Every structure is written in C-alpha cells, then in structure tokens.
Structure 1
C-alpha cells in the first residue's frame, strides 16, 4: 500500500483534499471516480514507504471495539467494515477496505487482518483466531479492545512521565553547548599571553570547551546517522530494540519486564475468558511479543503446555518471568479461576511498572537539575577566576 495526496472535484463543485491509500495511483483514481469524485491531482505522499499499513494500539482498540459493537447489533462483518471504511481516517479506512475485500474473497477475519502491520495488529489477528475457535467473535474482540486500550493508556502515561526529564537533559546539553560555542570562545582572547599565570581551573575549562567543540559535531553526525539507519532499515530497528530491551529487562525489578508480562497476562486472560483452550490461548497471547529473546523463551513452552503441564510451571521455566505473576497463577490454579488471577496479576504488574518509573524519574529529574546547575556554576566560577587573574596582571 502507498500513500497519495489528492485533490478531487465533488458533484457539488467543491474541491476535496485528503490522503488516500492504494496499490498505485490508478487504483486510487478508480476509487475516487466510484465515489463520484473527479480527481484533479494525485501525487505520492512524501516520506511514505510502500508496504502494509501499521496500526497503533489506540487504533487497534478502536477497530476491535467498533467491530464488536456492530456485530453485537446483528450487522454482518463485511457490512460493519464497509461502514467503518467511510467513517474512519484515510489510513484506517484503507485497512477496513482491504480487510472487507479479503472477507468477500472468502478469507477468515484472522487472515484478512494480516493487511495491517505492527504488534497491535498481530494481537487483533490473534483475537480473531481465538474468536473463530470459540465461536464468540464479538466478545473476544470487545475484551481484546479493552486490553489494548488499557495498554495504550499505560504506555502514554509512561511516555508523559519521561517527557520532563528528557527536556531537562536536553536543556543541560544546550547549556553546555552555549558555554562551549559562545561564552568561552569570546573570553579566550582575554586569556592569551597569561601563560602559567592563568589558574589551572580556568585552563581546564578552556580545554573542556575545545574538546566539546571538537566532539559535539562528531557525536551529532553519529547520532544523525543512527537516526537515519533506524528510520530506514527495519533490521537496524529490530537489533536496536532487542539490545535496549535486553538491557532494560535486567535486574530483579525491571519496569519493562513488568510491562511486557502485564500485557501478556492480560491477553492470555482474554483468550481464556473467551473459552479458548490454554495451549492455543498461550500461542495467541505470546505472538505479539516482539522482544526476540523473550519471544523465543515463550515459544519454547508451547509443547509443554500441549503435554498438559500447568501454566505456573511453564512460567517458572521462563527465566525473566516476574515471581509475582507466577504466584497469581498458582492461586488461580488452586481456585480454578486462572483468567481472573491473570487479570489481577496484569493489573498489579502494570501498576508496579508505572510506580517504579515514577520513583526513578522523581529522583532523576532533580538530580539532573542539580548536576546541570552545579556544572554551569562551576564553569562560571572558574572563568571568573581567570578574569580576576587577568585583572591582577594588568594592575601589576
């Protein structure tokens, strides 16, 4: 699928400008003509890579919720998608249209949803397979939509918490750059000829400014190259994501690990509540996990579940599984309410991940401010020491 910006003339004589998604410009033109719009301009949208369309967690939650509501009202799935196609954003409308066309061609919903890409889309596909296996498609989609919405809210909350420390760190680097590029170069002529009379601290500050002016362009070029590689090369993104995930999941209390397993437990609970047997429910719930090492560890437990091994024993064999989740599952197995126990465990892990990040940021933010303020004050003091030394030399 490719993105195109178009301008079309409507039957009422007004011009319509929007974005459309199609395999090529001719397909988009034919679709506009079918909608009684006369295309005037169709051109490729900039910075758009051809391929499958991605769904965010919020969009996947809305799509699942809307489909569940329309199906519950008695509307056929193809009719529901046709309705959503006209009421959603251009990208969501393109996804709904492609899914509807695949349904008309005879594919099941789980296969038709493969037109969309991304982790939330894979979860929707897993939900559709669970609904097809249990015969409760609308209930599974509704429960999965709630799980996706909760995960999206938690992720947005964590991102919001990280914005202020990131801004403070950016200001810190900006302050250092201003000193290195604007303040210190303007003072260096005043210190020329001082030689050994210049205080050692001031010489250190001037040397620091030279080092920063040399290294900052190099670091900026490296950062820009990495950003371009991550933006254009999917293997680079996967490698970087796996490396970051491996680093962040280390330790006894890793917020990322709690977040990932909270989502896994929530998805598994949705499948079990829909009546999907444990072994296929496990496979469907683990499919959206994108961390390579964890995905392999979870997939290695498929056969053990098929053999009838208890879920708590399977989770115990996953080295990074939080012990608290294992405890919840054990209690659920004892009481015969595994789905409810998984929901409780998911809520506990999600709350703990958010609390841990809030605690770290509550310490990190003032610490960065203190360090930046101290560094700027120290540099200023050392510069003034050099200026005093120059004044003393002139007075003598």
Structure 2
C-alpha cells in the first residue's frame, strides 16, 4: 500500500457561529459551528442540505479553545467507529460527533474535517492536513479501511491501540514523576528551613558565648550559602531544564545519548526499555494486521517507540528486512531487543501469525512495565522516607544541639 501523501497543517479556525435554518424535511434546526468566515459556514451547511435563515457570529475562540490531547483523538476514533458501524453517513457522523465534543478545539478540528470531506476529500486525506493530531499510523489505517470497506473496524483498531499506548505512557510517567516529585518536595523543604528557619536560631546562638557543635556550624554555613545564592541555584535549574529540553528537540545526537543513559539507570532504565519494546510491538502489530507492508509498518513503529536508541535500532531492522532478511533475525542483529521478544517474533513468522504474536509480545512487556512500576514504588517509599528523615531531621537536630549542651551545663 502506498504511503498517503502528507498535507501541510492548517490552522484551526478561530470563530464560533450560531445558525438557524431548515432541513430537507422542512423542520426548523439550529446549532453552532466553528469556522473562519460566514461563507465557510454557509458552504458547510449547504453541503448538509440545510437552508439557512440566519447566521450570527458569537465571538472569537482563541486561548479558551483548550488543547487537543491523545485521549480526545482516541474518543473521536471510537465515536466515529460507532457511527459508521450503525450505518450513519460519514458527514452526518462527523456532525453528530462534533456536537458531542465539549472541548472547542476538538469541535473546531472536526468541523475542519467536515469541510474537507464535504469538498470531496476522503477521510484519510482530510486527516493528513492535520498531522499534529493524526499521526501516520492513524492515516494509514483509515486509508486501508476506506479501500477495504472496513473503516469502522480500522477506527476501532486505532482507538484500541491509542488506549493501550496512553495507558502505557501513564505507567511510565508514574515511574518517573513519583520519585522526582518527592525529591523536589524534600529539597524545597530543606531550602525553606535553611533560608527562613535556621537564621532565627543563628541570632539566638550569638548570645551563648560558647563554641557551637561542628554539626551546627556546618548547618549555619549551608544556611548562609543558601541565603546568598538560592536564586542562582533556582536559575541554574531552570536553565538546565531549558537546555535539556532544547537539546532533545534540536540535537539528534544529544537526544540519543540522553536516551541511552536513561536506559542504563537502575530500575527506571528497565521500565523505559520494556516500555519501548511494548510500544514497538503494539504499533507494528496494529499496522501489519491492517495490511500495511512490513517495511512501511516498521517506519511507523520506529517513531512510536519513544526512544531514540530503539528508533535507530528499528531503522536498522527496516534496512535489513528490505534486503530480504526475516524480521526476527534483523531484530537479533541489532543486539537491542530482548531474546524473548525475538523468539516470539520468530515463532509468529514461522506460523504465519506475526500480528498476533506481536500483540502477545506487547501484552507481556506491558505487564512487565506494570510489575516494575509497582516494584519501584514499593522500593522508593521507604528509601525516600529515610532520605527526607535524614535531611529534615539532621537540620532540626543540628539546631537543637547547642540548646541541649547549654542545658546540660546549667
């Protein structure tokens, strides 16, 4: 199957219009549309065989439109599959789905699709004009569904795929954000104590007239340093974060090295590794089962791994498969994929059920990610408690040591 032509992205329209008219049965109907001009609204309604009596602009919809998330796209695919399976014509299905969308940005996107399809474009061609929201896999599967007459099945497959991928992303984010959030809170509490609380004790210690314990002197030194340079530290963290973000976007070599380092981290590296294998397997299974040739399916799977190391490895697999090698052998040649995944893919190739076996590989490694995340959480909770106890407890003890010593002297 040929790769669908990609169209440049068009900006989502920014005005909301209220309209009143009559349908083909002469019934009075009304509704709201998001479009760029009155003429566009008239054209859209004319394509729906609605006789317009009035159109009124209800204001611009700029920053309040909201952001379209992968979950919104997943719900759109599921709803469109249900409408088409019920025998609803595609333009009418679009209209029903658009009216059910509460988010203005998503409503506007569906209205764009209605306009494009009403002007003669196919469903897949209309989606290709919005590459920010509809990736290559979505467009390929919809194009295959249009050609084979199984559009509802393909939309269901896309929705199921996105559900599983988003669920996997949520588990990985949980593994990354939980320890990060706790460490940030711990550092924030420590900084607050050093900057605001310790100076109050320092003024008290000046009247003791005795040498302070070493631990207390060290805490006072850290407090003085924190009071003088805290904003430099905060600025440095912000700059470091921005540099890493910019490096990930602008430098392929930097992104590759950072992803390679992340795969070597204890516990978290194993989670990221298994998640990349699961996403690769799930994407390849979904596209291959839809009739997409293996070479093109590997192109889509490479970008879906979410890791530059695996993306490069899948690129090598694609090159080797294009020369005639079997998929499992090409995967083994990269020395990146787990032996179990390679063996299961080999069995799938021999049995002629590659898509089913790839789905089993994805299921297995998604479950492994679940188990690793639970293990990480159970390991981190006592460790973080100890770290926070040492940080906060150490500061408190260092501040009260001189008071205890003064009491013992008296």
Equivalent position SS for 1:309: coil
Provide, for residues 16-41 of structure 1, a one-character-per-residue CA deviation record: whole Å limited to 9, x for no partner.
Answer: xx9x866xxx5389649979563354
Structure 2: runs of 5 or more not aligned: 1-10, 21-31, 46-51
Contact kept in structure 2, 1:265 and 1:343, CA below 8 Å: yes
The RMSD of aligned alpha carbons is 3.8
Structure 1 residue 207: deviation in Å?
Answer: 0.9
Contact kept in structure 2, 1:201 and 1:382, CA below 8 Å: yes
1:29–1:209 CA distance, 2 compared to 1 (3 A): farther
Structure 1 residue 281: deviation in Å?
Answer: 2.9
1:307–1:44 CA distance, 2 compared to 1 (3 A): same
Structure 1 residue 186: deviation in Å?
Answer: 0.3
Residue in 2 that maps onto 1:44: 62
1:105–1:221 CA distance, 2 compared to 1 (3 A): same
Distance 1:120 1:195 in 2: 72
Provide, for residues 7-61 of structure 1, a one-character-per-residue CA deviation record: whole Å limited to 9, x for no partner.
Answer: x7887xxxxxx9x866xxx538964997956335436327x9xxxx975332222
Contact kept in structure 2, 1:191 and 1:390, CA below 8 Å: no
Structure 1 residue 343: deviation in Å?
Answer: 0.9
Residue in 1 that maps onto 2:84: 71
TM-score normalized with structure 1 length: 0.79
Structure 1: runs of 5 or more not aligned: 12-17
- 1:254-333 alignment to 2 at 5 Å? 254-333=270-349
Equivalent position SS for 1:301: helix
Which of 106, 113, 117 is the equivalent residue of 1:92?
106
Contact kept in structure 2, 1:130 and 1:271, CA below 8 Å: no
1:117–1:277 CA distance, 2 compared to 1 (3 A): closer
Structure 1 residue 242: deviation in Å?
Answer: 5.3
Structure 1 residue 187: deviation in Å?
Answer: 0.9
TM-score normalized with structure 2 length: 0.77
Residue in 2 that maps onto 1:152: 166
Aligned pair 1:371/2:387, yes or no? yes
Distance 2:85 2:168 in 1: 28
Contact kept in structure 2, 1:272 and 1:278, CA below 8 Å: yes
Contact kept in structure 2, 1:54 and 1:118, CA below 8 Å: no
Equivalent position SS for 2:57: strand
Residue in 1 that maps onto 2:367: 351
